[in-house]
Amino acid sequence: MKKNSKSGIFILSIFIVLLLVSFFFITRNDKKYTNTKKTSQIISLGEEQYKKEKKFKTKGFSIENPNVILNPYGNSPLTALILFETEEEVRPKVTIVGKDELSTYTNTFEKSKKHLLPIYGLYADTLNQVIIEIDENGEKISKTVEIKTEKLPENMILPTSVFSNKEKLQNDLYFYTPSSTGYTCAYDVNGDVRWYLTNYALWKIDRLENGHLLVSTERLINSPYYMTGLYEIDLLGKIYTEFRLEGGYHHDYYEMENGNLLIASDDFNNDDGTVEDYIVEVDRETGKIIKRFDLKNLLNMEDGKSENWTSYDWFHNNSVWYDKTTNSITLSGRHQDAVINIDYESGELNWIIGDPTSWSEEYQKYFFKPVGDNFEWQWSQHAAMITPEGYVFLLDNGNNKSKIKEEYVPAEDSYTRGVIYQIDTQNMTIEQRWEYGKERGSEFYSPYISDVDYLGENHYIVHSGGIVYVDGKNSNQPAGFSKNATLVSDTVELMNDEIIFELKLPTNNYRVEKMSLYHEKEKFSLGEVTRLGSLGKTEVEKEKFQPFLSAKEIDDTYQSHHIEITKEIDRLVVKGQFLRKNEVSIVLYRNMNWKYYDVVVSKKPYTALCVDLFTEEEDKNGISITKYINEDGLIGKYSIYIEIDGILYNTKEYVEF
């Protein structure tokens, strides 16, 4: 027994020694693969604003000698923050002096001893006059503060013509979002720029119930225009909340009565590789997705094809509208020339507005029968909504005006219009109640984007934002598809069928919202950005547990791809120039574990209006590709490797989540 015991102890000792030796070599090898240079970090807008706010001081400043900070967050040049303290609680009133009564703005703030007054609507390149008035200790005090602003950027888009019937207008502003060049900005009734953002913001811009604005983030989640989510901001450019979505955001959102957000999003993991056919409801307090609507479950993807239909961008939803009265959601499918309405609770299809030609028999029951005179269907429409009267109001772009290719109407004979339909869901009839734009002919023809707004009964905005001329002739193609293109954005405000405002710009703009400069419910406050939601977990294509791999140092071949690696607050970003024949993976290494994330070298999927064709130059030199790896599911420090055509390169950098 003693002999066997000694033998067992000897074998165990040998095993432990071998284990320690193996551990020594593996640990030493692990150090070999563990990089020591931290990849460069991109500071988020939220982090930047937090640093700036630490310098905002009210102490030691009075109304006679206030602390004036121009463009306090660095992204809204025609705003300022005025800070001071008073001995007792007072309600300051500010007046931003304009050129006339309709370009002058006032606001009265809440009672306080510490005052942080956001000042909006300054003129560029001007010594602006801002009057502050308070009533303290029974004494009325007035102070005029002069604020000098810088010139507008050279690429700021200025109106080519402005018409204002000032007897019928108030001092609201017209907020625009760009589609090609330009800034997210606001013009007053005189056509002067009174606000703009320098950071990128696309799609819809609208005011929330709390007075803040909701705009897209500046970060892409996928090309060409799918953003990571939305920012809740004020006009100073301060971000209060960031809503992140795993499918990103495009085109439109709707704030529901309970505060939740219905958002046009994508499901990038769907088996069909489709885009712009997915709606989510986001819980306002948590940022979590609590409801999903997948249009592939409702419609036949092959039905109702317009000229712009593709197998992956088959519906192209560009608007979201919730109607409380019917508890339903209205959506606009540009590539099927169809406005659809679905039940909020069940997600089932209620009805379809559009020409039923080329739709399957099973869907014919959802279409309306036209009644009345002068009826026309809509084509490639945008911005569908339900008015307080229960009418359907939309922007009819007017592309082709037929489902039959041989009957297409050419661009030079087409027109864009705002149109209001009255529908009867019991008898399934539809009647045209109102229109504007047809009488303007092809000069008002916008083959893409554009908007309508309901301002009150018989009071509307019709925005033809995507007018394109190529060599002097109307075009059916969006900006960027042709050389020698001339762009026009034409916004018309009508009251009782009379034009009371019109503004033309030499560019294309997505949407227009008419809003006041200040809002009674808006409250400015300091503090960090609340980041809600998630970008989701990036799929790992391959994972290896392996202590030894052959990795190459960076060479000329690697450098020819112009690879850039950066870290954002919640994801790793890798950019490079690749040929479509290249096989590329981003590889993250940690504790002998290798995670492979494939990089797809293609213009498709997720190209929307673009086409998946490589130009001769791109076939020769490659195209710029970006791969995002989200933080979800990753904890700790990872060394970064890149595999190109079977060769593993060590970047010498690491990323930490």
The region that residue 331 occupies, defined by phi over 0 for left and psi between -120 and 50 for alpha, beta otherwise, is: beta
Contact yes or no for 449/465 (Cβ under 8 A):
yes
At 42 the three-state DSSP class reads coil
Query: In the predicted model, is pLDDT for residue 136 greater than 90?
Result: no
Mean pLDDT, the chain, rounded, equals 94
Tokens of 603: 């213009």
Return the half-sphere exposure (C-beta side, CA atoms, 13 A cut-off) of residue 27.
6
**Residue 610: pLDDT above 70?**
no
Pick from 12-16, 102-106, 361-365, 642-646: least confident: 12-16
Which residues on neighbouring strands pair with residue 244, listed in sequence order? 229, 533
Mean pLDDT of 239-264: 98
- Mean pLDDT, rounded, for 565-594: 96
Give the CA count within 13 Å in the CB-facing half-sphere of 26: 13
Q: H helices within 513-637, ranges in order?
A: 556-559, 616-621
**How would you class 394 by CB atoms within 10 Å of its CB: exposed for 0-12, middle for 13-18, buried for 19 or more?**
buried
**613: which residues sit within 8 A by CB, 6+ positions away?**
603
Residue 483 has pLDDT above 50, yes or no: yes
- Does an H or E element contain 16, and which? helix 2-33
Q: Determine the Cα angle at 549 with ends 543 and 553, to 5°.
A: 115
Neighbours of 552 (CB within 10 A): 14
* Choice among 143-157, 316-330, 466-480, 593-607 with the minimum mean pLDDT: 593-607
Q: Beta strand pairing status for 206-207 and 317-323? A: unpaired
pLDDT digits (tens, 9 = 90+) for 72-109: 999 999 999 999 999 999 999 999 999 999 999 999 99
Average pLDDT over residues 307-311: 94
**Quick check: 480 pLDDT over 90?**
no
pLDDT above 60: residue 654 = yes
366-371 average pLDDT score: 98
Cis amide leading into 224 (omega within 30): yes
Q: SS3 of 369, please?
A: strand
Say whether pLDDT at 509 is over 60: yes
Q: Is the pLDDT score of 615 beyond 90?
A: no
Is 43-161+198-297's fold the same as 537-656's?
A: yes
Confidence of residue 27 (pLDDT cuts 50, 70, 90): low
CATH of span 43-161+198-297: 2.60.40.3100
Provide CB contacts within 8 A for 268, sequence distance 6+: 222, 246, 247, 248, 275, 605, 606
Give the pLDDT confidence score for residue 15 in this predicted structure.
60
* The pLDDT of residue 611 is above 70: no
Element (H, E) at 28: helix 2-33
Ranges 23-32, 199-208, 613-622: which has the least confidence: 23-32
Does the domain at residues 537-656 carry the CATH identifier 3.30.450? no
Q: What is the pLDDT of residue 561?
A: 96
Q: Output the pLDDT for position 114.
A: 97
Per-residue confidence (pLDDT) for residue 620, from 0 to 100: 80
Q: Give me the residue label for tokens 């009057």.
A: 131
Confidence of residue 1 (pLDDT cuts 50, 70, 90): very low
What is the band of 227 on the pLDDT scale with cuts at 50, 70, 90?
very high
Torsion of CA 262, 265, 270, 272, to 10 degrees: 110
Phi then psi dihedrals of residue 268, to 5 deg? -75, -5
Q: What is the DSSP letter of 484?
A: S
- Summarize the confidence of residues 273-284 as an average pLDDT: 97
Q: 415 with 440: CB under 8 angstroms?
A: yes
How do 459-470 and 473-474 pair as beta strands? antiparallel
Token pair, residue 154, equals: 């050279």
**Taking the domains of the chain in order of start, what are their residue ranges?**
43-161+198-297, 304-457, 537-656
Q: Return d(Cα 146, Cα 148) in angstroms, integer.
A: 7
- 633-648: average pLDDT: 96
The pLDDT confidence band at residue 546, using thresholds 50, 70 and 90, is confident
